[in-house]
Structure 1
Amino acid sequence: MTEKKIVDDETHPFQPLVDDNSKVLILGTFPSIKSFKNNLYYGHPQNVFWPILQKIFEPKRKTKMSNSERKKLALENGIAIWDVIKSCERENKSSLDSSLTTKEPNDIRNLLKNHPKIKAIFFTSKNAQNLFKKHVGNINGYTYKVLPSPSPAYAAMTFEQKLEGFRRAFKSIGLIGENKNDKKKKTTLESFGISKKESNQKSNELKEESKELKEESNQKSNQKSNELKEELKEELKEESKEESNQKSNQKSNQKKKKKRKEKEKKKKPRKNRKKRIVNDSENSSENEKIKKRKKERKKKTKKTKTKTTKKK
């Protein structure tokens, strides 16, 4: 025996949560029965959508937020929330997407047209993305991402993994990294009466000045470098000149020494010759003397002989 199906016609109970500050539109399929009762998007007690937003944008807060605080948190951080389905048939009062049959989609194109700051569309399930493609179609100029499903029915990921998935998606469109707690506060520059345009202009001027100063500094350093190179070249020239002079002087001195030695060599034998000559002359004079002495002796002996003969 087959179970009898109970089919209810339902119309979306909530208006889109959106304002002029919205930068990303988060789309689901259709509110669950618990969300109907709690009068809030993702209002099921075990749905982690709002705890994830609180963890990302109000990490220091430990207490649970009220519905109005949650809506305010989303809007202050540039997040718009809506669903793809406007009216549907729900089977057996089930909150599963598989039990929903779309009768009419929401006019999402018109919402995007009226809120031009929205540049990204995120889906909280693959089913929501498929319904969007079917009933709305692809719209150019938007960033599309499927977030990890915050539904308690999706247990394949832990809370931390889902949190990280949301964090990465928000970071990719620049929602994280700015001051999210007070979007309506003016920036420091604006509080001093300086517009963003003026700030950018001033920044560009400073960049140009910095560039010019850098170029001037480079030119000066190049000039100085060239001067130093020239000085170094001159010094090296002088050193090489001195070195070559020293070498040439050394060579000339060596040549002079060589010449002197050669001259001395030539002179030495003449000196010896003179000595020999002197020696020879000395010898001859000695000989003469000896001869003289001999003669004198002879004479003396003759004289003595004659004397002795006379006496006899």
Structure 2
Amino acid sequence: MKESHPLEPFLPKNAKLLMLGSFPPPKVRWCIEFYYPNFNNDMWRIFGHIFFHNRNYFVLSSEKKFDKERIIAFLNEVGIGIFDTATEVFREKGNASDAFLQIVKPTNVAAMLRKIPECLAVNTTGTLATETLSEMFQIKPPKVGEKVPFLLDDRRLFLYRTPSSSRAYPLALEKKAEFYQKMFEELKILK
């Protein structure tokens, strides 16, 4: 089934980092109308663990959902933008797995980066997102935990690759968080 991206890019004017996944999961899996909306996805728990030493900082446990307003306020404060590498996909199965996504229309990431001139880096959180972005900028895809430089106009940026926040990725939350924390420290988002 062909799908268009259901969300607008989240691009704080002060964004130092642009995080790019592949594409949101089917809406039936959403607990909030925002990025990483599946309650079984650990992205917001990773953020809570790193920045607040509390993996449930962004969780509304009584409702089994994430606190969208708290997430947005935090991302605006620290300067992290979010979108995906595809604006239109063909979903072969009714899940969020990259293995069953075909990108019909890739995101114009260069245009997005031009809207956030303070941005220093892009972070991809999965294989498909990494491969898609690497093709766009004609760079070698970094391995998980690594970064590579790339140019956009006269700007030098970095592409960081971190592990997927999906629980299907076989690594404990704390171990995944180590990769993200290193990136946040290097970009001075976490001091």
TM-score bin (small chain): 0.7 to 0.9
Counterpart code for 1:174: K
Cα deviation digits, residues 230-253 of structure 1 (max 9, x gap): xxxxxxxxxxxxxxxxxxxxxxxx
* C-alpha RMSD of matched pairs (Å): 1.9
Counterpart-to-counterpart distance in 1, 2:186 and 2:137: 24
Query: If the length of structure 2 is used for normalisation, what is the TM-score?
Result: 0.81
Determine helix, strand or coil for the equivalent of 2:110: helix
Cα deviation digits, residues 101-129 of structure 1 (max 9, x gap): 11111111111112110011111112211
* Other-structure match for 1:281: none
Q: Which runs of 5+ in 1 are unaligned?
A: 1-7, 178-312
How many aligned residue pairs are there? 169
* Other-structure match for 1:186: none
* Other-structure match for 2:99: 98
- For the structure 1 residues 46 and 40, does the alpha-carbon distance in structure 2 shift closer, same or farther, using more than 3 Å as the test? same
* Other-structure match for 1:171: 185
Farther-moved stretch of structure 1 (8-17 vs 131-140): 131-140
Determine helix, strand or coil for the equivalent of 2:30: helix
Counterpart-to-counterpart distance in 1, 2:23 and 2:90: 11
How far off its partner does 1:136 sit? 4.9
Contact 1:23–1:78 under 8 Å retained in 2: yes
Contact 1:42–1:50 under 8 Å retained in 2: yes
Counterpart-to-counterpart distance in 1, 2:99 and 2:69: 30
Counterpart-to-counterpart distance in 1, 2:124 and 2:35: 14
- For the structure 1 residues 62 and 36, does the alpha-carbon distance in structure 2 shift closer, same or farther, using more than 3 Å as the test? closer
Between Structure 1 and Structure 2, the one with more helix by share is 1
Counterpart-to-counterpart distance in 1, 2:178 and 2:105: 34
Query: If the length of structure 1 is used for normalisation, what is the TM-score?
Result: 0.51
* Other-structure match for 1:42: 36
Alignment counterpart, residue 161 of structure 2, candidates 146, 150, 171? 146
Counterpart-to-counterpart distance in 1, 2:189 and 2:182: 10
Contact 1:9–1:88 under 8 Å retained in 2: yes
Farther-moved stretch of structure 1 (19-28 vs 62-71): 62-71
How far off its partner does 1:77 sit? 1.1
Counterpart-to-counterpart distance in 1, 2:45 and 2:190: 16
Counterpart code for 1:44: N
- Structure with higher Rg: it is 1
Counterpart-to-counterpart distance in 2, 1:81 and 1:174: 18
Structure 1 moving runs of 4+ over 6 Å: none
* Other-structure match for 1:307: none
Alignment counterpart, residue 19 of structure 1, candidates 6, 12, 27? 12
Q: Which runs of 5+ in 2 are unaligned?
A: 60-65, 140-149
Contact 2:86–2:107 under 8 Å retained in 1: yes
Cα deviation digits, residues 228-287 of structure 1 (max 9, x gap): xxxxxxxxxxxxxxxxxxxxxxxxxxxxxxxxxxxxxxxxxxxxxxxxxxxxxxxxxxxx
* Other-structure match for 1:263: none
How far off its partner does 1:137 sit? 3.8
1:1-312 superposed matches below 5 A: 8-34=1-27, 37-38=30-31, 39-59=33-53, 63=57, 64=59, 65-138=66-139, 139-140=150-151, 141-155=156-170, 157-177=171-191
How far off its partner does 1:61 sit? 8.4
Name the % identity. Answer: 26
How far off its partner does 1:34 sit? 4.9
Contact 2:30–2:39 under 8 Å retained in 1: no
